[in-house]
C-alpha cells in the first residue's frame, strides 16, 4: 500500500475503489464504483454473483495511483460459471 493511500485511510477511514471484473480473455464484464469502501475485496477462488452472472475469482490486482483523489482500481480476473438451474415448484 502506498504512503498516499495509507494517509487517506488514516484521515478518512476509507479508500474509494473501483472494481473492474475482467474475464480470462481480457473483456471487462462489470465495473462497480465503491466510493465509500463498503464492498469487500474478493478473495481468490471465491465464487461471486453479480445479478444472474456467476463467476469464480482467479486473481485480484491493484492498480495503484500516486494521486490520493483517484479511486483505487481493483482488477478482478474471473472465470464465468454456468447459471444455476432454476428451482421448480410443484
Computed over its alpha carbons, how large is the radius of gyration of the chain? 16
pTM of the model: 0.75
The answer to the question of residue 57 being in a domain is yes
Q: With respect to residue 58, please indicate whether it lies within any of the assigned structural domains.
A: yes
Its domain, for residue 8, covers 3-81
Residue 90, pLDDT above cutoff 70: no
Nearest CA among 56, 73, 52 for reference residue 64: 73
In a domain, 88, yes or no: no
Residue 18 resides in a domain? yes
Q: What are phi and psi of 4, to 5 degrees?
A: -65, -40
On the question of pLDDT at 75 being above 70, the answer is: yes
Q: Which helix or strand (DSSP H or E) is residue 7 part of?
A: helix 3-12
Question: How much of the chain, in percent, has pLDDT values that exceed 70?
Answer: 79
- How many distinct structural domains can be found in the chain? 1
- pLDDT tens across 41-60, in order? 999 999 999 988 999 999 99
β partners of residue 12: none
Amino acid at each position: 500500500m502506498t504512503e498516499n493511500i495509507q494517509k487517506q485511510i488514516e484521515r478518512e477511514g476509507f479508500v474509494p475503489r473501483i472494481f473492474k471484473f475482467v474475464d480470462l480473455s481480457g473483456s471487462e464484464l462489470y465495473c462497480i464504483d465503491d466510493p465509500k469502501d463498503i464492498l469487500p475485496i474478493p478473495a481468490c477462488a471465491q465464487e461471486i454473483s453479480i445479478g444472474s452472472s456467476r463467476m469464480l475469482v482467479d486473481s485480484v490486482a491493484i492498480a495503484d495511483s500516486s494521486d490520493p483523489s483517484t479511486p483505487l482500481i481493483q482488477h478482478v480476473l474471473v472465470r464465468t460459471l454456468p447459471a444455476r438451474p432454476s428451482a421448480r415448484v410443484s
